[in-house]
Amino acid sequence: MRNIIILSFLFSISGLCAQTVSVSGLAPAYIGKKIRVYKIEDYLSYKQTMIASTTVDVDSTFSMTFKCDEIQKVIVKSNNNRGFIYIQPKGDYSIFFPERNIYEPIKPSGNDVEVGFNRLDSTDINYKLLGYQRWVDYFLSGTFHLRNRKDTTGYVEAFDGFKTRVQKAYESDTSENSTYLKTYVKFNIAGLENVNNVAERNRYEKHDFFIKYHPVEYNNDMYMEYITNYYEKIVPQLSNKTNEAFYQGILNSSPSMVMNALGSEYTLINTRIREIVMIKSLSELFYSNDYPQTNVIEILDSIVEFTMYKENTVIASNIRHRLINLVPGVIAPDFVLSAEGLETKTLLGLKGKHLYVHFFDPNSSENMKEIELIRELNSKYSKYVKFISVYKLGDEISKELKTKLDDMEWEIYPTSPTNSIWDKYQVTTYPHYTFLDATGYVIASPALGPTPNGNYQTIDESFFQLRKAWEYENKDGGELYNRNH
């Protein structure tokens, strides 16, 4: 009986800890399509993980509920378009998700949209942040003429007055979201000082005033934005002695040597921040010819395994994933594709021929135009390249469109949104292409598509060169090639 009581108590405590958030609203441009919410795992890799998903009903409404234990910024996506809101535990949000911002043309890769709120409680973090941003916009628009003068004394005085009023307005806030709010405001002001160069603080003064005594707030986007900008490409700024010690640490694949080297830099006295900056610096130097990539990865592996800060484990793991997963020349991550009526495919089973993987949204007219271009590529190069197209199950498509896709000459796989291929191949917008060689190594990801990019390049040139090389190595094919060209 005593054990039952204890278990009941533990369940009740866990129920109290697992707080939820509700997001509902209107999305008339997305009827029948999925609308998804993603959390940002960290603000260095900016890796996003889906935490909720639903389908927009025929009356344009949608609703979803999911867990939320702390205030955070989340990304709302549908049909390649994306916007953001902030959420807090026990929040109840009614939003409007538009097709696009009114003065912006439709982009095939998706549009950034401004999510609207149908109602907001005055105590909610969104209400407070939107109010503050309106205040900032009003101040900046009213002082624009002062900022463009050679003598900026008038603007400096106005900015100092603005900072004083802001501090007075928020210092008395003791609500549950006050810490997040005050940090956001503080580092937004810090960013404005940098942009307008009005504080006359040097690098060390900025560190002491904004960073030194402030706790690291991994989930506050404004704080993390300031930190990442402040320590941007810091290695070239180090003294020659420190830079050499840093370099030797990488050559020895030693995170402790790198940490000790960075410790001689005054702005890195905080070991938690120092480790974040080490991860960031390693990612910046990964593509430099001066630093061995394998050593960089070994150091990141050590951080993942041995760091004292669990939040830094997440950052190091995500950065490592981003650096190594789809870098040209590395082995591509394996995947499994299965669908009714089609043979199950894995990367291992597809080796032997170059592979062109095409991720697309069947409900996008722009995406479907490229399907026709891929048909042409397949007819020209299928002897040398294996074509596979992938789209997400749950994206409702008409029978007519499904029949059209089934009639294509290459394999098209409807695949679960939870299939690891979406994450492994970093598919965030459509269409998305990945090009692998015959042994499973990455040639390009994202790769060029069949339509010209900004430099008028298409994947056709790569396929043409591949065919040329193949026919040169195969004498009969080479003679045929010469006769036809």
SS3 state of residue 366: helix
Say if residue 264 is in the same domain as residue 376. Answer: no
Residue 102: is its pLDDT beyond 60? yes
Say if residue 450 is in the same domain as residue 425. Answer: yes
Say if residue 45 is in the same domain as residue 137. Answer: no
| Separation CA 371–CA 358 (nearest Å) | 9
Residues 428-449: what's their mean pLDDT? 90
Residue 113 lies in a domain: yes
- pLDDT tens string 259-295: 999 999 999 999 999 999 999 999 999 878 789 989 9
- Compute how many other C-beta atoms are within 10 angstroms of the C-beta atom of residue 199: 19
Q: What is the largest CA-CA distance in the chain?
A: 89
Residue 331 lies in a domain: no
Say if residue 303 is in the same domain as residue 438. Answer: no
Q: Of the candidates 433, 446, 430, which has an alpha carbon nearest to the alpha carbon of residue 110?
A: 430
- pLDDT tens string 106-128: 766 678 999 999 989 999 999 99
Q: Of the candidates 69, 83, 142, 145, which has an alpha carbon nearest to the alpha carbon of residue 114?
A: 83
What would the DSSP string read from start to end of 250-316? Answer: HHTT-HHHHHHHHTTSGGG-SHHHHHHHHHHHHHHHTT-TTS-HHHHHHHHHHHHHH-S-HHHHHHH
- pLDDT tens string 34-84: 999 999 999 999 999 999 999 999 999 999 999 999 999 999 999 888 999
Name the domain count of the chain: 4
- Compute how many other C-beta atoms are within 10 angstroms of the C-beta atom of residue 221: 18
Residue 104 lies in a domain: yes
pTM of the complete model: 0.76
Apex 66 CA angle, 317 and 39, nearest 5: 30
Identify the residue with better confidence: 322 or 189. 189
CA dihedral for 238, 240, 242, 243, sign (positive or negative): positive
| Separation CA 318–CA 46 (nearest Å) | 8
SS3 state of residue 199: coil
pLDDT above 90: percentage of residues in the chain: 60
Instruction: Give 208's DSSP letter.
Output: I
Contacts of 215 (CB under 8 A, 6+ apart): none
Say if residue 313 is in the same domain as residue 365. Answer: no
Say if residue 113 is in the same domain as residue 27. Answer: yes
Say if residue 114 is in the same domain as residue 157. Answer: no
Say if residue 47 is in the same domain as residue 114. Answer: yes
- Compute how many other C-beta atoms are within 10 angstroms of the C-beta atom of residue 195: 9
Instruction: Place 17 in a pLDDT band, splitting at 50, 70 and 90.
Output: low
Residue 370 lies in a domain: yes
Amino acid at 377: L
Q: Which tokens is 310 given?
A: 């669990």
SS3 state of residue 364: coil
Residue 50 lies in a domain: yes
Say if residue 433 is in the same domain as residue 341. Answer: yes
Say if residue 472 is in the same domain as residue 358. Answer: yes
Last residue of a domain, one of 175, 209, 230: 230
Residue 247: is its pLDDT beyond 60? yes
* CATH number of the domain residue 371 falls in: 3.40.30.10
Last residue of a domain, one of 91, 118, 145: 118
Residue 330 lies in a domain: no
Please, is 379 exposed, middle or buried when counting C-beta atoms within 10 Å of its C-beta (0-12, 13-18, 19+)?
exposed
Q: Which tokens is 17 given?
A: 């800890």
Contacts of 151 (CB under 8 A, 6+ apart): none
CB neighbour burial string for 149-182, b if at least 16 within 10 angstroms, e if fewer: eeebeebbebbeebbeebeeebeeeeeebeebbe
Say if residue 192 is in the same domain as residue 260. Answer: no
| Separation CA 164–CA 171 (nearest Å) | 11
Residue 417 lies in a domain: yes
Contacts of 255 (CB under 8 A, 6+ apart): 249, 278, 299, 302, 303, 306
Domain membership of residue 161 as a residue range: 127-230
* Residue 326 near residue 332 (C-beta atoms within 8 A): yes
Instruction: Give 397's DSSP letter.
Output: -
Instruction: Place 18 in a pLDDT band, splitting at 50, 70 and 90.
Output: low
Last residue of a domain, one of 279, 302, 325: 325
Residues 436-455: what's their mean pLDDT? 89
Residue 6: is its pLDDT beyond 80? no
CB neighbour burial string for 313-331, b if at least 16 within 10 angstroms, e if fewer: ebbbbbbbbbbbbbeeeee
| Separation CA 13–CA 3 (nearest Å) | 15
Residue 191 lies in a domain: yes
* Average pLDDT in the chain: 88
Say if residue 400 is in the same domain as residue 365. Answer: yes
* CATH number of the domain residue 86 falls in: 2.60.40
Q: Which tokens is 38 given?
A: 């993603």
